[in-house]
Structure 1
Amino acid sequence: MSTPDNGNFDQFKEEIEAAERRIAGEIDPGPRALVIAVGVFVLLVSFLLPHTGGANGWDVLANSEDATGAAVSLPSRLFIWLALVFTVGFSMLALLTRRWALAWVALAGSSVTCVLGLLAVWSRQTAAEPYPGPGIGLILAWLTVIVVTYHWARAVWARTAVQLAAEEARRREAAERQQKGLLERFDDDPDDPDKPGR
């Protein structure tokens, strides 16, 4: 094989590897994308519903007088903010761009948000007597974050398995090429006394 052909093949090989790397950084959530998108919409609607007493989710976000009057605690505030940033924001970014890294951020942030949602509901249930308990908006938001997190986990881990399989196949191919190259060099060595026929 001539040198120009090798150069063309190397350039072609580099383009293939670049395409593989680009594809490895993308996800295809399939039908889960619709479930996640509906979950994001339901979560935004839950912000309009009562979070606790007369304060809805947007009141908690803005720290309005209604939220202050209902003595909304830190777990509730953190839950609403993280739900907005990770479960809504990063989920939409990941769905629009199909980037695997953004899906991971959405999954990690939503997982933390699930725990904070539990703390938020618990803190409203254990609030002192004059203060109201958890509202339908808080409970719906928490359950929605759990559903979205579950579907992101399925999408991300499925992609992780595909990436690991592709990486293993690439390693195996590289090892085979290296072994084949060593065998060809061994066969072409004219000074080798162990070569058959000498």
Structure 2
Amino acid sequence: MTERDDAGHPDAAGGHRPRTAAEVAAPDGRAPAQVHEDLRAAERRAAGDIEFSGPLVAVLVASVVLLVTFFLPHSGPVLGFDVLLDTDTARFNHTTPPERLYTIFLVITILLGFATFLSRSAVVAFVGWVFACVTAVYSMFAGWMRQTRPLPQDDGGISWGLIIGMIAAVSLAVAISAVVFRRSTLQAALELARREQAGSDPVLRAQQQYLRSGLTPLTSTDLAIVDDRRERSRRRRAARAEAERAAREDDAAGEGA
């Protein structure tokens, strides 16, 4: 049996030859370009999932706190669910439709926060991030509306339940931003492997050089480009020789006269 070590492959004479870059990058026999595409596809799949992390737990905690604020005072005797359901208590205390819109945004954001934690989907997290940012901004607007009531409608102003909701909404927006825009460990490992593999293949390395230099390779065959520099040089030499011969003939004719 022919011996084989990690440094090379046995050849026909029983010796060892060094492994090529393609064999190093693709030990299972696949082409380096195929390995590169497989790594790219795996990186895209990894980008669609969210790994369990501290920011994801913060999203869950902030969503729970926002859910609790529905049972806390929104303004005076009005609770959060009174605003959401537009109860008689809310109407008696002059709760306006924009304040109710804040609670509707709150419900959607809470549901998306729970869905992000349970599904670990990047798409769900991105939609939740959009609504969390809108809710965080709108919570400030809701607090401002309660603090700027006309005097006949001033029924207690902002309450501590709404203040907690504002803080939790901003915290949720920050936490879900960290979830959405943070690269997972698997994504970072796949990206590093793809870059290292691309550096071992000359074709992929040339493509990277084209991209980095801003050059676009000419792939069209519509133009017929002919290198006629030698032909033009030959014509110039022939023209100079003809001019020198004509000059000599003129000199000879002048001397004969």
Identity of aligned residues (%): 31
Look up the equivalent residue of 1:92 and give its one-letter code: F
Question: What corresponds to 1:151 in structure 2?
Answer: 175
CA contact (8 A) 2:46 2:186 kept: no
Question: What corresponds to 1:93 in structure 2?
Answer: 115
Question: What corresponds to 1:64 in structure 2?
Answer: 87
Match of 1:138 among 152, 157, 162: 162
Looking at CA atoms only, which structure, 1 or 2, has the larger radius of gyration? Answer: 2
2:90 is the alignment partner of 1:75: no
Look up the equivalent residue of 1:51 and give its one-letter code: H
Q: Alpha carbon RMSD of aligned pairs, Å? A: 3.3
Q: Deviations over 1:105-136 (max 9, x none)?
A: 11111111111111100000001224321111
- The TM-score, its normalising length taken from structure 1, stands at 0.73
Question: What corresponds to 1:39 in structure 2?
Answer: 62
* Whole-angstrom CA distance in 1 between matches of 2:49 and 2:134: 23
2:133 is the alignment partner of 1:111: yes
- The TM-score, its normalising length taken from structure 2, stands at 0.58
Normalized per residue, which structure has more helix?
Answer: 1
* Whole-angstrom CA distance in 2 between matches of 1:180 and 1:111: 40
Q: Indicate the SS of the match to 1:111.
A: helix
Q: Deviations over 1:131-165 (max 9, x none)?
A: 32111111111110111111111222213998699
Match of 1:125 among 135, 141, 147: 147
* Whole-angstrom CA distance in 2 between matches of 1:96 and 1:89: 11
Unaligned runs of 5+ in 1: 1-7, 183-198
Q: Deviations over 1:58-114 (max 9, x none)?
A: 11111111111122223321211111102x111111111111111111111111111
CA contact (8 A) 2:39 2:193 kept: no
Q: 1:128 to 1:180 in 2, by over 3 A?
A: closer
Question: What corresponds to 2:17 in structure 1?
Answer: none
Q: 1:29 to 1:180 in 2, by over 3 A?
A: closer
CA contact (8 A) 2:51 2:184 kept: no
Q: 1:164 to 1:79 in 2, by over 3 A?
A: farther
Equivalent pairs, count = 177
